[in-house]
Each structure stands twice: as structure tokens, then as C-alpha cells.
């Protein structure tokens, strides 16, 4: 158990819908990362927050948004869902924003039908 909690574990939704994925980082960690993993694209970095502020932005679609709240949990919002958004979404956390390892949650498997 990494100490990073992601909910829900599985999510099935229809195209065009909006979903919210939630992540609770390890106790004491200030940085949160979001990644998308699919068979064709592999592991893709989406976005990183540190202590509530956006620190780095990757290949995150405009339909996707994220935030980190004062209690340090983070949410990833996915809207106008398409079939191609079906993937595993991972959250990770680290104590610092750089030069440090990250600990990964078990992921949320999103299936868009």
C-alpha cells in the first residue's frame, strides 16, 4: 500500500458525460501528479500540482481540468468524454516538487461506452 488513495477504482460512463476522479496523497506529501495510461499511448503525464499551485502541465486536453485543494487532495475532471478517453488514470504524490520519488495510487479504470 503506497498510501495514495484513488476513488473510484472503476468507472463506466457514456460518451459526452463528465466524471470526477479523486486522489488523496500520502500524509505529508505536498505534490500531486496525474497520469493517463492506455495500451496505445502508454503512460502520459497530464499535470502536477504542488501545495495547491499548478507546477507542470503535460498533454492534458482542454476537456480535462484538475485542481488541488487546501487539504491537498486533488480532483481530475474529465468532460465531454469520448471513447478514446478510456484508460487507467493514476495519481501519484511526492513530498517535494522535484528530485524526489513519487508514490502511485492503484488507479481509476475509466471505461467510456
Query: In the complex, which residues of this chain contact other proteins (CB under 8 A)?
Result: 2, 4, 33, 42-43, 45, 47-48, 55-59, 88, 90, 92, 97-107, 109
**Residue whose CB is less far from other proteins, 45 or 73:** 45
Euclidean distance between CA atoms 63 and 73, whole angstroms: 21
**Residue whose CB is less far from other proteins, 15 or 104:** 104
User: Shortest gap between Cβ of 105 and other proteins (angstroms)?
Assistant: 6
**Residue whose CB is less far from other proteins, 2 or 51:** 2
DSSP symbol at 60: -
Burial pattern 70-88, b for ≥16 Cβ within 10 A else e, equals eebbbbbebeebeeebbbe
Amino acid at each position: 500500500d503506497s498510501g495514495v488513495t484513488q476513488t473510484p477504482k472503476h468507472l463506466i460512463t457514456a460518451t459526452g458525460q463528465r466524471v470526477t476522479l479523486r486522489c488523496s496523497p500520502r500524509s505529508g506529501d505536498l505534490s500531486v501528479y496525474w497520469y493517463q495510461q492506455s495500451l496505445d499511448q502508454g503512460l502520459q503525464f497530464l499535470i502536477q500540482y504542488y501545495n495547491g499551485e499548478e507546477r507542470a502541465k503535460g498533454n492534458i486536453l482542454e476537456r480535462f481540468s484538475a485542481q488541488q485543494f487546501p487539504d491537498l487532495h486533488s480532483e481530475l475532471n474529465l468532460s465531454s468524454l469520448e471513447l478514446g478517453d478510456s484508460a487507467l488514470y493514476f495519481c501519484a504524490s511526492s513530498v517535494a516538487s522535484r528530485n524526489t520519488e513519487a508514490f502511485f495510487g492503484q488507479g481509476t479504470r475509466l471505461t467510456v461506452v
